[in-house]
Amino acid sequence: MKSEELRNLQKPLKDKYRENPDDAMITLKANGKIGEGVSCSVQTGKALVEAGLHPATGGDGLALCSGDMLLEALVACAGVTLKAVATSLEIELRGGTITAEGDLDFRGTLGVSKEAAVGFSDIRLKFDLDTDATEEQLASLLKLTERYCVVKQTISNPTNVDVLHTVTK
């Protein structure tokens, strides 16, 4: 896709959201169903994913770990955002890879240590790009990618998560 095509595609949406900010508020949803053993099935829109325990918490490695899925969501969002920003800035990307790594202390998750955090202590997002972009263009590309990547911004900034429940008998 060319820069002009992307601008033409997004212009009516940007105009609409400027005129009616409420139209820009969309609720995204993910649904899961409690599965067999210690698992949960999640419909991704393209496939059904079975999430389960990581081997470090007793899983057999056959189900996806939700921590891995979080890192995969970060990579996917960063990749799409990077490509959109590069297109908008007319920076040619011949290819590249995006890697996310996160450090977890499973003592926290398993309740072995109250001092050990539950969740990632550090996440590293790495871009290895095949491009002739200048250092200045790359700096702008990465700055804007970081700014507009929904998943990166969500996990980097405190986000309110309301936990609700119903009981079916």
The CATH class of 3-156 is alpha beta
Structure tokens belonging to residue 156: 């980097």
Render pLDDT for 48-58 as a digit per residue (tens, 0 to 9): 889 998 999 98
Of the candidates 102, 103, 105, 83, the residue with the CA atom closest to the CA atom of residue 93:
83
Output the pLDDT for position 40: 84
Render pLDDT for 109-132 as a digit per residue (tens, 0 to 9): 899 889 988 989 899 999 999 999
Percent of the chain predicted with pLDDT > 90: 60
- Mean of the per-residue pLDDT values of the chain: 90
Render pLDDT for 70-85 as a digit per residue (tens, 0 to 9): 999 999 999 999 999 9
Output the pLDDT for position 82: 94
User: What are the boundaries of each domain within the chain?
Assistant: 3-156
CA atoms lying within 13 Å on the CB side of residue 55: 3
